[in-house]
Structure 1
Amino acid sequence: MPVSSSPLAPAAAADVSRSPWRSLKYRSMRWWSVANFVSNAGTWMQLTVQNLLVLQITGSAAATGLSMSVQAAPALLMSLVGGAAVDRWPRKLTAAVSQALLGAVAFTTAVLVACGGLNLTVLMALAAVTGVIATVDGPACALLGNDLVPSEDVPSAIGVGSLVHSAGRLAGAALGGVTVAFLGTAAAYAANGMSFLFVAAVIPFLRPAYGALRQAAPARRGSGAGAAGRDAAADMTVRQGLIFFMRRPRLVALAGITGISAVFGRNYTLTLAVLVTGPLAGGAGSFGTVSTVLAVGGIVGAVLGARLRRPSVRLVGMLAAAGALLQVVAGFSPSFAVLLVLVLPMAVVESVSDTAGKTVLQTDPPAHLRGRVLGVWGSVSTGWGLAGPPALGLLMELAGARGALVVGGLIIAGSIGAGFLLRGRRDVTVPVLVREAGAGVLGTAA
């Protein structure tokens, strides 16, 4: 299976194409996209039946929610360690091993389901193991995909990845129902295990494109001489990644923009569901229509985001603020039809903003720190992911569905606007201080 990418000439690497599909001109990226589609379809096939399985075992909706929390919890606690592992170990090997381990967990679950040996305790343990492996697999696979294309084509790779994720989700949900109906629940887990093994089999054949930013070679223990060797080892620690993130203003600003947007603006499955079924007097079918429009907008936004070349944090902030203002207007929607008109651009703006933010996050740090930066991001994003729904639910209790959309949108737009103003004031103040200091030095010298 020849999957190597032929090096492109420097003239081709300097191509300024803005096609959203430009990353697919690299053969390895095409294979990686196929592998991701298969993996996503398998994962969503399993997720489609997993909640039903928990309900069958326990009969408790609370247990279903608990199983999801148990799987997510390791990301809050161990993402920093997982990111450090991605930086320290060869990326292709790390991704292949993590995919194989996830496949082993899926096959184990399939066997236990088929033999009737799966109980709640075992299911929770398997969910926790999956969450631990995912803290390594997530950043490894994300950065491996970026390694296959030149840096200017990373937005295209991320946008294509979003499209592949959406397509895999639709295919997996559909296949999950068919698989369970004809072959049973165990078959869905087994199929997901096969999808992980397929990805693991493809990875060894992937090759970086000309101009791709490859992973820096990790420092070997004992390599280097004296202080140089110790410095190289110290630079591979978890602490070093956290320090870099905290001292990088654009990454801190990106985290602030994304976090406040996630808490107050992107839980549309909650806010829009209550708005549609409450003040707008719609039903489950109406919310299904809204969900479809959100999905379509996400796909359109992923295509538009893939056209970006070098997005900035400022662009992410502007898009997030625009989405927040659209959310405010949506809160005043007098009818279901008006809401639908607003939902599409809301989803498009959110998707473009996500692609731009991921590009900044995955390309801004130096190559040897990217895994740990994604590890920091995994911890903080899990935190706001867990805190967001309860906070938004409380806001809806106090202000209603319309009020939550309006107040949440104003909080997002106001916070981002204040951040821009403070940044602009600092940019103006610093040059003035530098000029005054320079004038003082010259006066003293005279």
Structure 2
Amino acid sequence: MRWWAVANFVSNAGTWMQLTVQNLLVLQITGSAAATGLSMSVQAAPGLLLGTLGGAVVDRWPRKVTAAVGQALLGGVAVLTAVLVALDQLNLPLLMALAALTGLIATVDGPACSLLGNDLVESEDVPSAIGVGSLAHSAGRLAGAALAGVTVGVLGTAAAYVANGISFAFVACVIPFLKPVRRQERAAEPAAARPARDGRRKPRDTGVREGLAFFARRPRLVALAGLNGISALFGRNYSLTLVVLVTGPLAGDAGTFSTVATVLAVGGIVGAVLGARLRRPGVRLVGTLTVAGALLQVLAGLSPSVAVLLVLVLPMAIAESVADTAQSTVLQTDPPAHMRGRVLGAWNSIRTLWGLAAPPTLGLLMEVLGVRGALVAGGLLVASTVGAAFLTRGRRAATAAKAPSVDEIVEAPLSEALKPSTTPLPTSRTELETAV
């Protein structure tokens, strides 16, 4: 697990270095911010359209092999991009095609790597393993964004892609030496997934439709999707809203927002450490943290200065990070083992949908209400919606507790009839005749 955590950190640092450089590269080639956004959408599109199919592949193939092949392919794409940049042969269509290919590979590689990390520890330690993964992601994001500028300034753009390719190769080389812990999860598997009596294994159900149907029938997963959607559409997209707030009403500059972004990253790391201590997180915890983050967002929208904003940004990032860790734990432990790849694939599609819809929604809200109004209104909307859902669920639970079930209604007369009689049996013919 320690080796896997180090590999995750190296890989995330390389990935965020490449993402940072890729946006700069698109701007250099086209001079268009719209083209930069388009490249990000093209890379996210496979996750939206093929996420569940990628999860089905993960459920069917060995995770170590799937993760190793995925990391090797992503490394190859990064090195190919570096060669094209070095030879000055990279144009916009080629870059878009490579971005789409990266997103396609990630639909399989992402769930495989997530579930492989969980296989390295005992069942009771899975929440901690997910927390360690979140910590590696946050620390890698911070390190990668910082290293991108240094690498490009000293070695050039192609070097950043080479570094990312090396980071993928490092992970691919670590995976064969990992030793998963064999956990007893057979009881949670359906009969079709268990070995037959003759020793042969029956074919598993790896259909995409079944994965989506399973997700839709699971109230906890549907609730998480709703929480993620409303918080993505009206809050949490701080890289968009806070940059407008800092450079607009608070009269800051790019350096000021860099400080805010650094505090956000530090809060994410602190939240990941706290999230790693969770043992059995649930949807209620995610909802509570979502409400807390939304109320802090309201206060951030009312901030009179950058100093006050910095004080609020840290707990906002901590709440978001702990909620993400709790959310990931539920997604990766609530479904049975044979369905987890498809659940993560479906989640990837849902999250990508919210991610694509959030920027234009927030942009429109800021155009209509201003950035302060958008932060305040969005935070209040998130908090009130989640609060109302909690109250509605509480009332339903109370009503269900008071009302007798169908089984109780049917079984009550039968249980009364089967109770032993307290009347003494007749001991003589006269008593028997009287009783009759």
TM-score, normalized by the shorter chain, greater than 0.5: yes
Q: Does the C-alpha gap of structure 1 residues 236 and 434 become closer, same or farther in structure 2, counting only changes over 3 Å?
A: farther
Q: Does the C-alpha gap of structure 1 residues 169 and 435 become closer, same or farther in structure 2, counting only changes over 3 Å?
A: closer
Query: Could you tell me how far apart the structure 1 residues matched to 2:145 and 2:185 are?
Result: 35
What TM-score do the two structures reach when normalised by structure 2? 0.88
Structure 1 unmatched ranges of 5 or more: 1-28
What TM-score do the two structures reach when normalised by structure 1? 0.86
Query: Could you tell me how far apart the structure 2 residues matched to 1:436 and 1:111 are?
Result: 69
Q: 1:173 is matched with which residue: 133, 140, 145? A: 145
Aligned-pair distance for 1:427? 1.4
Percent of pairs with identical residues: 74
Q: Does the C-alpha gap of structure 1 residues 218 and 315 become closer, same or farther in structure 2, counting only changes over 3 Å?
A: closer
Q: Does 1:405 align with 2:375?
A: yes
Aligned-pair distance for 1:64? 1.8
Aligned-pair distance for 1:138? 0.6
Correspondence for 1:162? 134
- 3-state DSSP of counterpart to 1:144: helix
Query: Could you tell me how far apart the structure 2 residues matched to 1:97 and 1:405 are?
Result: 43
Correspondence for 1:16? none
Q: Does the C-alpha gap of structure 1 residues 380 and 427 become closer, same or farther in structure 2, counting only changes over 3 Å?
A: same
Moved more, 158-167 or 30-39: 158-167
Q: Does 1:67 align with 2:39?
A: yes
Could you report, residue by residue, the CA deviation over 1:363-422 in whole angstroms, capped at 9, with x for unpaired residues? 110000000000110001000001011111111112111211111111111111111122
Tell me which amino acid in the other structure corresponds to 2:41. Answer: S
Q: How does 1:273-352 map to 2 (within 5 A)?
A: 273-352=243-322
Tell me, yes or no, if the aligned pair for 1:89 and 1:218 is still in contact at 8 Å. no
CA RMSD of aligned residues (A): 2.6
Moved more, 426-435 or 396-405: 426-435
Correspondence for 1:9? none
Query: Could you tell me how far apart the structure 2 residues matched to 1:110 and 1:220 are?
Result: 46
Correspondence for 2:431? none
- 3-state DSSP of counterpart to 2:281: coil
Query: Could you tell me how far apart the structure 1 residues matched to 2:257 and 2:149 are?
Result: 21
Correspondence for 1:362? 332
Q: 2:386 is matched with which residue: 384, 408, 416? A: 416
Query: Could you tell me how far apart the structure 2 residues matched to 1:37 and 1:319 are?
Result: 26
Aligned-pair distance for 1:183? 2.9
Query: Could you tell me how far apart the structure 2 residues matched to 1:352 and 1:343 are?
Result: 14
Aligned-pair distance for 1:224? 5.5
Q: Does 1:206 align with 2:164?
A: no
Q: Does 1:192 align with 2:147?
A: no
Structure 2 unmatched ranges of 5 or more: 418-436
Aligned-pair distance for 1:136? 0.4
Tell me, yes or no, if the aligned pair for 1:151 and 1:213 is still in contact at 8 Å. no
Could you report, residue by residue, the CA deviation over 1:174-208 in whole angstroms, capped at 9, with x for unpaired residues? 33333333332222212211211111111011012
Tell me which amino acid in the other structure corresponds to 2:54. Answer: G
- 3-state DSSP of counterpart to 2:403: helix
Tell me, yes or no, if the aligned pair for 2:82 and 2:158 is still in contact at 8 Å. yes
Find the structure with the greater CA-based Rg. Answer: 2
Moved more, 286-295 or 142-151: 286-295
Tell me, yes or no, if the aligned pair for 1:265 and 1:327 is still in contact at 8 Å. yes
- 3-state DSSP of counterpart to 2:404: helix
After superposing on structure 2, the runs of 4+ consecutive aligned residues of structure 1 that deviate more than 6 Å are 216-221
Correspondence for 1:54? 26
Tell me, yes or no, if the aligned pair for 1:150 and 1:213 is still in contact at 8 Å. no
Tell me which amino acid in the other structure corresponds to 1:163. Answer: L
Tell me, yes or no, if the aligned pair for 2:294 and 2:380 is still in contact at 8 Å. yes
Aligned-pair distance for 1:107? 1.6
Q: 2:6 is matched with which residue: 11, 34, 38? A: 34
Q: 2:54 is matched with which residue: 51, 72, 82? A: 82
Query: Could you tell me how far apart the structure 2 residues matched to 1:419 and 1:343 are?
Result: 26
Query: Could you tell me how far apart the structure 2 residues matched to 1:443 and 1:35 are?
Result: 64
Could you report, residue by residue, the CA deviation over 1:10-44 in whole angstroms, capped at 9, with x for unpaired residues? xxxxxxxxxxxxxxxxxxx1010111122112222
Could you report, residue by residue, the CA deviation over 1:22-73 in whole angstroms, capped at 9, with x for unpaired residues? xxxxxxx101011112211222222232122222222322222211111111
Correspondence for 1:259? 229
Query: Could you tell me how far apart the structure 2 residues matched to 1:42 and 1:336 are?
Result: 31
Q: Does the C-alpha gap of structure 1 residues 287 and 144 become closer, same or farther in structure 2, counting only changes over 3 Å?
A: same
Q: How does 1:366-381 map to 2 (within 5 A)?
A: 366-381=336-351
